Amino acid sequence: MQTQTKIEDAPAPKHGALASPVPPPGADADWTVPQHWDELTAEDHWVWDTLFARQQTLLHGRAVEAFQQGLDVLHLSRPGVPNFDELNQKLNARTGWTVVAVPGLVPDDVFFRHLSNRRFPAGNFIRSPKQLDYLEEPDVFHDVFGHVPLLAQPAVADFMQALGRLGLEALDRGQLHRLARLYWYTVEFGLAREEGALKIYGAGILSSFGESHYSLESAKPHRADFDLQRVLRTRYRTDTFQQAYFVIDRFEDVLDLVLRDDFAALCDGLDALGDLEPGEEPLRAAA
């Protein structure tokens, strides 16, 4: 199931960040809202339990080991939509991250600012039973089931905060679209090699019934070894299964890559090379 998020491949913003639109009514200046967990309905909890059971069965042997470990240490297999206050006690103790409730997609600069402060924005709503396989915006199942378990993994926790910080720095240089791509091809749609087999770690796949199959089993998409410059140059589509996946061996590898001190210069230098479509050559196929 593809999460149909409306996150377009943002064109490079004009120099200097575009002012964020104002937060929706009831939201704070940082777009956070109360979770109002006690207002969730039995149907909401049923949707969570239904999606959770289906993905758990499907992801057995398909997701990276650290994902299952995260589900376990955060007790996410308990029934119903997680209560963020309870979840945060465990998550915060492990890696200092906090899940904050938001009403839906938040502007890129707001989103990356939260990440830079180890706050993960998660939808305070869940899709309806009629939407099990189709979603306009990231809901609590995509955000918490898809993203949060790996935030219990120190290297991922550090990588996500680094992406936030680098995103804010890129914003002022008109390079935010490159961080959005790096986020998209790792955190959202990344694959990893574990004991010689391809496994899923990207939240957009982990939370998607259809793409959990497609990303590993279809002959259509390209699967290439992770290449930072290639990822920073490659556009992405938000309205269909991905046409290209990038494969890492260790989370620590991508963390080291982005902690390099010439990351800004690398991004700026890529402007002269132009963007690439996901399947465009040169693409070094993953072994």
In the complex, minimum distance from the CB of residue 67 to Fe ion, in angstroms, rounded to a whole number: 14
Among ligand HBI, Fe ion, none, what binds residue 198 when CB lies within 5 to 8 Å by partner kind? none
With CB under 5 to 8 Å by kind, the binding choice for 106 among ligand HBI, Fe ion, none is ligand HBI
Q: Which two tokens stand for residue 234?
A: 């490659």
Closer residue to ligand HBI, CB minimum distance, 9 or 225: 9
Taking contact as CB under 5 A, which single stretch among the options 80-88, 130-138, 244-252, 255-263 is the one that binds Fe ion? Answer: 130-138
Nearest approach in angstroms of CB 201 to ligand HBI is 15
CB of 120 to ligand HBI, least distance (A): 9
Q: Calculate the CA 93 to chain-centre distance.
A: 21
Could you say which of ligand HBI, Fe ion, none residue 121 binds, taking C-beta under 5 to 8 angstroms by partner kind? ligand HBI
The structure tokens listed for 271 are 């402007």
The partner in contact with residue 257, picked from Fe ion, ligand HBI, none with C-beta cut-offs of 5 to 8 angstroms by kind, is none
DSSP 128-188: -GGGTT-BSS--HIIIIIIIHHHHTSHHHHHHHHHHHHHHHHHHTTT-HHHHHHHHIIIII
Residues that bind ligand HBI (CB under 6 A): 7, 102, 105-106, 108, 111, 121, 138, 180, 183-184, 188
Instruction: Kindly report the number of other CB atoms within 10 A of residue 80's CB atom.
Output: 14
Complex with Fe ion: residue 131 or 280, whichever CB lies closer: 131
Which does residue 74 touch among ligand HBI, Fe ion, none (CB within 5 to 8 A, set by kind)? none
- Number of alpha carbons in the 13 Å side-chain half-sphere of residue 17: 16
Question: In angstroms, what CA-CA distances link 86 with 37, 78, 98, 254?
Answer: 11, 12, 11, 30
Residue 266 touches which of ligand HBI, Fe ion, none (CB < 5 to 8 A by kind)?
none
Nearer to ligand HBI, 93 or 134 (CB): 134
Which residue has tokens 């996901």? 278
Instruction: Confirm if 169 and 261 have CB atoms less than 8 A apart.
Output: no
Q: Which is nearer to Fe ion, 138 or 149 (CB)?
A: 138
Q: Which residues contact 4 (CB under 8 A, 6 or more apart)?
A: 134, 135, 136, 238, 239
- 138-167 residues in contact with Fe ion (CB under 5 A) are 138
Distance CA 9, CA 237 (A): 7
Quote the least distance from Cβ 5 to ligand HBI, whole Å. 7
Residues 140, 125 contacting (CB under 8 angstroms):
yes
Specify the amino acid at residue 71: L
Residue 52 interaction partner, one of ligand HBI, Fe ion, none, beta carbon < 5-8 Å per kind: none
For Fe ion, the binding residues in 189-208 under the rule CB under 5 A are 203
Q: Which is nearer to ligand HBI, 121 or 149 (CB)?
A: 121
Chain residues binding Fe ion by CB under 5 A are 138, 203
